[in-house]
Each structure stands twice: as structure tokens, then as C-alpha cells.
Amino acid sequence: MDYLFDPRPQPSLPVRGAAARFPVGRIFCVGRNYAAHAAEMGNEVDREAPFYFTKSAHHLVGPGSHPVPPRTGDYHHEVEFVLALGRAVDPADPMASVLGYAVGLDMTRRDLQAAAKAKGRPWSTAKDVEASAVIGPLTRAEDFGALADQRLTLSVNGTLRQEGRLSEMVWSVPEVLADLATLYTLAPGDLVMTGTPSGVGPVGRGDVLEGTCEGLDPVALTLT
């Protein structure tokens, strides 16, 4: 193939214990999937239907140092449990599509999100932000074991800010996958960020964030 200029590199994630990397296709994100976080954002939880937004796979970065993006005075952390799909979703057995899991940070320009919400506009400039999908290495599903009440945490400069259990999701992982598969033809390489527990808040240059989930490698971010 002859291109006018070099294409961007294929975004990918390392897999614990494997030499080959996981090539990332799309990044889907679930909104308001923990009741306490929905409440802190001023929303009632409903079970009418989950809702989604997306981030470009080119906004994926690994753990390390990354800049605070421009035009925000309220850059927020959201720690999330991330699904990595290895095959198309079978609605009768959605979990069979999951190749592995990771801890991720859905970094958010909250001030731009609030302005968008107020005007009924899209969230793209708040959520689909360069270096805003910070995701750690994948652990294969069979190594992680069954989804239960694993603890998900986020600390900033060593102080615990967010804490939740996977069992507290409003929409469970299989429910999210089954629903998302009615909207999109999910494919190997797709990631799903499954929402954040309560305790989100602002961070800035020099802050050191660490997201953890029992059974997974942590993800660390230093903001520059």
C-alpha cells in the first residue's frame, strides 16, 4: 500500500506473560455505571438502558508521564475496569468474547463536559481527548478468573480517592456486552471501559495517579 504520508502507528496493549501485543480497534465507554458516581454527578440512576460514548484508539496511552490537555481547568480522573474483546460477541454467551481485562483511566475535561451537558451538545471535546485513555497491561480472562466483587481503586499522590467493587456496576459486564452488541458489530480489538465508581475529582501537573484492581496490573499516570 502506498500512502501520501506515514499512517499513525497501530495502538496496542501489552498482555501479561505474552510476547504478542493486543491490537486496539475501538474504545467504547459506559456512562454512569455505578450508582454513587451517578449521584455525585447529579444524576439519578435508572435501568432504562446503558449509554455510551467513545474515545479514539489513537488517544490510548500506556502508564507513564502524559500532559494535562489544553483548555481545561478541571481535568478529572475516572478509574475503570476495562474489557478487551478477542472475538465477536455471541448474545447467548457474551463473556466468551472477552480475551482479557485491564485497569484504565478515563481522563475527562469535566468543565467542557458540564458545558456540553448544559447545552445538550456532544461530549467529544470532554472525553475524546488526546492521552485520555490511560490503560495498563491486559491480563487474560482465564488468569483473572470469575468476575466477582474485586476492588477497584484510584489514589492521587498516595491518597485514596476512588473505591468501588465490580459487583456494584449498575449494568454488569455481560449485560453491557450484550447491549453494546445490539448497537455495533463488536470485533476483536475493541475495548470497553465499564464506568467509574464515586470519588472523581480534579488533578493537575505534577500529580501522580495510580489505578488498581485486584488481580490486575496497576496503571500509573504522572501528569506533566
In the complex, the residues that contact Mn ion under the rule CB under 5 A are: 78, 106, 196
Give the Cα separation of 166 and 148 in Å (integer).
7
Supply the minimum distance, in Å, between the C-beta of residue 202 and Mn ion. 15
Q: Which is closer to Mn ion, CB of 15 or CB of 107?
A: 107
Q: Which residue is it, cell 480517592?
A: 161
Buried b (16+ CB within 10 A) or exposed e, 19-42: eeebebbbbbbbbbbbbebbeeee
Shortest Cβ distance from residue 193 to Mn ion (Å)?
A: 6
Q: Which of 104, 7, 92 is nearest to 61 (CA)?
A: 104
Alpha-carbon gap, residue 125 to 110, rounded angstroms: 10
**Residue whose CB is less far from Mn ion, 51 or 184:** 51
Residue number, 106 or 128, with CB nearest to Mn ion: 106
Shortest Å, Cβ 6 to Mn ion: 32
Q: How far is the CB of 7 from Mn ion (least distance, A)?
A: 28
Q: Computed from CA positions of residues 108, 63, 224, 11, in that sequence, does the dihedral angle turn out positive or negative? A: negative
CB of 30 vs Mn ion, minimal distance in Å? 7
Of 78 and 210, nearer to Mn ion (C-beta) is 78
Which is closer to Mn ion, CB of 78 or CB of 128?
A: 78
**DSSP structure class, residue 27:** E
Residue nearest to Mn ion (CB): 106
Interstrand relation of 133-135 and 60-61 (parallel, antiparallel or unpaired): parallel
Amino acid letter for position 129: V
Distance CA 154, CA 199 (A): 9
Comparing CB distances to Mn ion, the nearer of 16 and 198 is 198
**Closer by beta carbon to Mn ion, 41 or else 96:** 41
Q: What DSSP element (H or E) covers 64?
A: strand 64-66
Q: Work out how close the CB of 132 gets to Mn ion at its nearest, in angstroms, rounded to a whole number.
A: 10
Q: 3-class DSSP state for residue 138?
A: strand
3-state SS assignment for residue 206: coil
Residue 157 C-beta: closest distance to Mn ion, Å: 21
